Amino acid sequence: MRSSFPPEDLDLAGVCQGVAIGMLVAFLAIQMKVMLPPALAQAPWQLQVGDSLRGTASVPLVATVLLVLAQRFDPDAEALERRVTLVRRLCMAVSLGFLLLIPLQISAGMNQMGQASSGEARQLRDIQRVSLAIEQARTPEALNQAIAQLPGLPPDFRGNFNRPISEVRSILLTQIRPQIRALETRLSQARSDRLQAALRLFIFDGITSLGYAIGFGAIGRSSEDMPSLLQMFLWLPEELRERLASSRKGARERGPVSEQWITTLSDDPDAEPSSDAEPASNGQAAQVGQPPQAPPGDAGGS
């Protein structure tokens, strides 16, 4: 059977199969390097893996197409057919995985943004707490304890104040409050910048993942006589429309419900026949097969 195909096709099938296997091995090596050691619960690791998958997903996609082409050039190779069937089944899972990657990446990005914002907000709260402690200090000891909470100062800080406590407190607050306002402005701007960058990133990453899901879905199928995953999704609306149209056509062909059928359903099968109907029926039965009789007056006159 193999001799019935041109040698050029068989050689090209071998080339396509070899290149495809090499590309798949390289892709797995790259992903293993990125994923190890695993840190499934950490947002940076999730984002890193997602970026790596999107950046190198074209390698297995092209490799799968090469395997399919190799089978077309050499359709009698049973081992190649088994590999192509396995790979196309895996493509169905890969396609669904890229769809799931969209919400997972959004969730990981939001978690990372929340962690970064929480650190800056904690720093702002610390300075605000120090400012409040300085404002409420009334003795040198309380003022030293409040100042010792400032970043960069030792916890056992002790200052000698040559001025009244109220004046020292006012000087410190004059220096700290502008820093608090500047930190609030910087924190708000940083949150806005991160949110805009995250939105752009989520949109482009989502479109990329959707594109790869479509690509792998166009290849993936469960068996030779089944359509691909993408074809099933595309045919589903058309099939629903055809079923809806056929149901409407069947309803029109049956036509409206007849009045006689409704009357039959409404009649009580256990009800007795009416007494008015019986004499009429009996009279009609007596007259069947008999000539009409003359009235009594006419008979007497004759």
pLDDT tens per residue, range 222-279: 777 777 787 777 776 666 666 666 666 655 555 555 556 556 655 555 555 554 444 4
Residue 302: predicted pLDDT: 35
In which domain, by residue range, is 182 found?
2-242
> DSSP per residue over 250-277, as a string?
HHHHH-SPPHHHHHHHHS-TTPPPPTTH
Predicted TM-score (pTM) of the model is: 0.63
Residue 119 is assigned to a structural domain of this protein: yes
Least confident of 42-46, 165-169, 296-300: 296-300
Three-point CA angle 225, 226, 231, nearest 5°: 140
Q: Is residue 25 part of a domain?
A: yes
Tokens of 157: 């800080």
Give domain status of residue 191, yes or no. yes
Counting the structural domains of the chain, the total is 1
| Confidence grade of residue 119 (pLDDT, cut at 50, 70, 90) | confident
| Domain membership flag for residue 137 | yes
Given a contact cutoff of 8 angstroms between Cβ atoms, the answer to whether 147 and 168 are in contact is no
**Residue 282: inside a domain:** no
Q: Which of 13, 34, 16, 36 is CA-nearest to residue 24?
A: 16
- Specify the DSSP class assigned to residue 164: -
> Residue 252 domain-assigned?
no
Residue 102 has what pLDDT? 93
Report the run of H or E that residue 34 belongs to, with start and end. Answer: helix 7-35
According to DSSP, residue 36 is labeled P
141 close to 125: Cβ distance less than 8 angstroms: no
Q: Tens digits of per-residue pLDDT, 88-102?
A: 999 999 999 999 999
CB within 8 A of 155, min separation 6: which ones?
A: 148
> Does a structural domain hold residue 10?
yes
Distance in angstroms (rounded) separating the CA atoms of residues 126 and 302: 136
Tokens of 179: 């820093």
Asked if residue 265 belongs to a domain, the reply is no
Question: Residue 256 is which amino acid?
Answer: P
